[in-house]
């Protein structure tokens, strides 16, 4: 169903750059490594980063190989629905829905999505969310949730446009740079 490299859609940003939304593939290894490590650098250099959890240290090529193999197997097994955004072959965003792992939660998916800072607020995340919602429905899922920093207004707007509603707040979920941040959970039925 979700073949590696499958193209979901193409669109053009206001600045003329052409974006391709597609399923990741083995050939993306080095691009994914650059993507994840650029997020680590962003989080280190920006005390007000809207990035959620993780991104604490640079990832080695071997670690990225292991992650990519596991993810491609999960995609093939229909346990993960993936979409990456690339511009001229450079990965600028990665998102996925992970299906519940228990028999009685297989109908539910958790959506995670990250866009590099240069491309946030340009509609890429919204289009990726729309794609993941559509593909989740096609895969037979009935509900989705997403979790991110409660003060990330860009993410909140993108999820609201995709009919997600606030489902809860997790007080002080994240501790960063001497401060606590709340986690926001949004959810929707499909």
- What is the maximum span of the chain, computed from C-alpha positions, in angstroms? 46
Would you give the distance in Å from CA 68 to the centre of its chain? 15
Contact (CB, 8 A) for 126 and 162: yes
Q: Where are the alpha helices (DSSP H) in 120-172?
A: 124-138, 153-161
**Mind listing the pLDDT tens digit of every residue in the chain (190 residues)?**
567 789 999 999 999 999 999 999 999 999 999 999 988 888 776 655 666 666 678 889 999 999 999 999 999 999 999 999 999 999 999 999 999 999 999 999 999 999 998 998 899 999 999 999 999 999 999 999 999 999 988 899 999 999 999 999 999 998 887 889 999 999 999 9
- Strand 108-115 and strand 143-149: the pairing is parallel
**Number of residues that this document lists for the chain:** 190
Q: How far are the Cα atoms of 25, 50, 120, 134 from residue 155, in angstroms, in the given order? A: 26, 9, 9, 18
Both tokens assigned to 59: 């990832």
Q: Which element (helix H / strand E) includes 57?
A: none
Q: Which two tokens stand for residue 179?
A: 């401060």
- Reduced to 3 states, what is the DSSP secondary structure of residue 144? strand
What domains, with CATH codes, occur in the chain?
7-142 (3.40.630.30)
Residue owning tokens 């890429």: 124
């Amino acid at each position: 169903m979700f073949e590696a490299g499958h193209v979901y859609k193409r669109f053009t940003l206001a600045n003329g750059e052409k974006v391709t939304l597609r399923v990741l593939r083995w050939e993306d290894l080095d691009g994914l490594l650059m993507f994840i490590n650029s997020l680590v650098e962003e989080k280190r250099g920006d005390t007000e980063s809207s990035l959620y959890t993780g991104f604490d240290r640079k990832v080695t090529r071997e670690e990225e190989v292991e992650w990519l193999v596991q993810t491609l197997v999960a995609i093939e097994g229909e346990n993960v629905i993936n979409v990456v955004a690339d511009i001229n072959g450079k990965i600028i965003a990665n998102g996925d829905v992970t299906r519940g792992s228990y028999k009685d939660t297989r109908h539910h998916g958790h959506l995670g999505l990250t866009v590099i800072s240069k491309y946030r607020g340009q509609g890429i995340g919204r289009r990726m969310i729309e794609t993941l919602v559509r593909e989740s429905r096609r895969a037979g899922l009935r509900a989705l949730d997403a979790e991110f920093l409660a003060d990330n207004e860009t993410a909140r707007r993108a999820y609201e446009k995709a009919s997600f509603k606030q489902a809860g707040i997790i007080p002080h979920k994240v501790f960063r740079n001497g401060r606590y941040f709340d986690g926001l959970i949004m959810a929707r039925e499909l």
